[in-house]
Structure 1
Amino acid sequence: MKNEDKKPLSLDPAVLPFLQLREYLGYDRKTFAEFLGVSYDAIWQWETGRRRPGLTWNQVQKLDKIFENAGIKFKDFPYLGPPPDSPDVEENE
């Protein structure tokens, strides 16, 4: 599905946001894990709430690029943002 054909992302509070995000972007777990450089199990743990994503700055930048292509802003996912000691994302925008 082309990005312009997609409805805006609307999170269902009953479903974990990372799962909704991956599905909205059109990735299966294996492909998304490879893209981020993490294991399939890591994606599964994030989606089931067993673990919170612990993203590197490089992974944040990769996500930012696909978010931008999908019309999603990082501010919509504050738990995915960089840790407080990382470079300030707003300064780089």
Structure 2
Amino acid sequence: MKKALIYVPNKSPMQSGIAKNAKWVLEFKTKNPTKNPLMGWESSSDTLTELKLKFSSKELAINYAKKNKINYELIEPKKRKTVIKSYADNFLK
């Protein structure tokens, strides 16, 4: 049986904003990873691990998984806590 993760990816370190991080990703988990004896790389004979599907909403990703009989694990994004600061606050303390 296929097992997948549904999550919102983190922003890259090169991004300062969070405007384009609204996509949900369905990514399959690796089955039986093996270590390549020559190079030491991790490999697998499961080609589904190379597949990442992007959806515009969480509901679409869940519906796709249910329709295709994929067991999934949903990882909810954490809420960002923003602190509103003023430049003048640097000089008031």
What TM-score, normalized to structure 2? 0.24
Question: Higher relative contact order by CA 8 Å / sep ≥ 6: 1 or 2?
Answer: 2
Higher share of residues assigned helix: 1
Q: Which structure has the bigger radius of gyration?
A: 2
TM-score normalised by length of structure 1: 0.24
